Amino acid sequence: MDVRIWFNRIWPARVHLIPMLRDNPDHARVQVYGTHPDPAAPALTACDVVEPEPGEDEAFFDFAIDFCQRHDIDVIMPSSRLVALADRAEAFSAVDTRVMCAPAETLRAVTDKSRMYAAAERSRVPVAPWRAVSDADGLRKAVQEFAGTDSALCVKPAGEYSAYGFRLLDDSPLKVSDFERLPRPTASVSAVADALQHAQDRGETVPELIVMPYLDPPEVSVDCLSDTAGTLVSAIARAKSGRVRTLVDDPDVMELARLAVGHFRLAYLSNVQFRYWKGQPVLLEVNARAAAGIYQTRMTGVNLVWAAVRMLLCGDPGEVPRPMLGGRLAVVEDAIPLSDTVIPDSRARERTPPPSPVGAPEANRTLSP
């Protein structure tokens, strides 16, 4: 059968998922649709059909429903606007499109780090000490509270900003030897406090920040596949060290990932990250979507990405083999040729009728060719 999959605001890293979707164990024919506000976005060149998408939320959802209807999209694999898409999941279901995401309440809980850490503390998932601050006085107080921990401190936005807002708090002066190594994302306590105070004085909205100890490496990123109840089906842990990734078999980390996925009721593809505090793994971050590096898991012989698509459409992931762990790999840059982006005719396209009748239960759909 044909499966039509749409990546909205497609990231460059999503290019690596496309071969995993096409080379699937069910031998389904996959057609990939990509949209982005920038019609010259490089990732679009890997898609079968591309269109520009509106940048504004108000215009996007009218566009999205129309896009799904015109192209008979089976699955949306969101790259952005996850919460808003989850809020409108029923509207997409009405046009026979499934959105691969957890419930909206789950997404709201995990995209706010202060809410996420507080929720984790109510479970059995360990969390390092942390403080939420939103003004200069709060920042200085938090730094003073952590003064006796003998650990470097860091600050990061509580919202979903990837790693862009992360800074190590470092008041030491610049040294000549610093020019002989790669720069680190550092800021002094006074610089961060001044930024918060200036924003407050100008009446700007000040985002909540998290202050916490800088946790010990390695960072272990666990790519998870789970059902809609948060029951873990498969998980693969990647320990990061520079450009090297080790596909680790760590029962303690896997158990914590299982607890986190169940506690937050994560669904389909998610990613749970850990680092170490006083020698023990602690929760760093929860992403209710596929991580940028999930393509690395294909080295284990497991196609988590396709298993999630099958679970969404059919109600089960198919046969998911036990991952082959212990391997090491290097993450390197690659280059892909760019062609002129061709924007297709926006008129409706004809499509071969689906193999199952309209209105048939999703669990009865088949992915047999």
Structure confidence at residue 161 (pLDDT): 63
Q: Same structural domain for residues 238 and 296?
A: yes
* 67-80 confidence digits (pLDDT tens): 999 999 999 999 88
Same domain assignment for residues 239 and 226: yes
Predicted confidence (pLDDT) at residue 270 exceeds the cutoff of 90: yes
Give the CATH number, domain containing residue 358: 3.40.50.20
Q: Binning pLDDT at 50, 70 and 90, where does residue 159 land?
A: confident
pLDDT band at 340 (very low <50, low <70, confident <90, very high): low
| Domains: count for the chain | 3
Q: Are residues 10 and 87 in the same domain?
A: yes
pLDDT, position 364: 38
Place 116 in a pLDDT band, splitting at 50, 70 and 90.
Answer: very high
What does pTM read for this prediction? 0.88
Q: Is 357 exposed, middle or buried (0-12, 13-18, 19+ CB in 10 A)?
A: exposed
Residues 223 and 326 in one domain: yes
Residue 289 domain-assigned (yes or no): yes
pLDDT, mean over the chain:
89
Instruction: Tell which of 213, 245, 265 closes a domain.
Output: 213
Residues 176 and 254 in one domain: no
User: Would residue 93 count as lying in a domain?
Assistant: yes
* Per-residue pLDDT at 275 exceeds 80: yes
d(CA 229, CA 18): 27
- pLDDT value at residue 352: 43
Tell whether 246 and 270 lie within a shared domain. yes
Neighbour-count burial for 174-203, b at 16+ CB within 10 Å, e otherwise: eeeeeeeeeeeebbebeebbeebeebeeee
pLDDT at 338: 64
306 & 259 share domain: yes
Does residue 324 sit in the same domain as residue 227?
Answer: yes
| HSE-up (13 A, CA, CB side) for residue 281 | 23
Kindly report the CATH number assigned to the domain that includes residue 184: 3.30.1490.20
For residues 76-87, average pLDDT:
91
Mean pLDDT confidence for 330-335: 84
What pLDDT does residue 326 have? 94
Confidence check: pLDDT of 57 > 90:
no
The answer on 220 and 205 residing in a single domain is no
Q: Exposed, middle or buried: residue 261 (CB in 10 Å: 0-12, 13-18, 19+)?
A: buried
Q: Do 22 and 9 share a domain, yes or no?
A: yes
Domain of 242: which CATH number?
Answer: 3.30.470.20
Q: Using pLDDT thresholds of 50, 70 and 90, give the confidence band for residue 361.
A: very low
pLDDT score, position 164: 78
Whether residue 133 is found in the same domain as residue 197 = yes
Of residues 43 and 150, the one with the higher pLDDT is 43
pLDDT for position 1: 79
Domain that holds residue 236: 107-111+216-330
Q: Residue 104 has which token pair?
A: 């909206």
Contacts of 312 (CB under 8 A, 6+ apart): 75, 98, 100, 268
Select from 176, 195, 213 the last residue of a domain.
213
Nearest to 160 by CA among 208, 102, 103: 208
pLDDT for 170-227, tens place per residue? 999 889 998 999 889 999 999 999 999 999 999 998 889 999 999 999 999 999 999 9
Domain co-membership, 190 together with 234: no
Region of poorest pLDDT, from 64-73, 92-101, 177-186, 281-290: 177-186
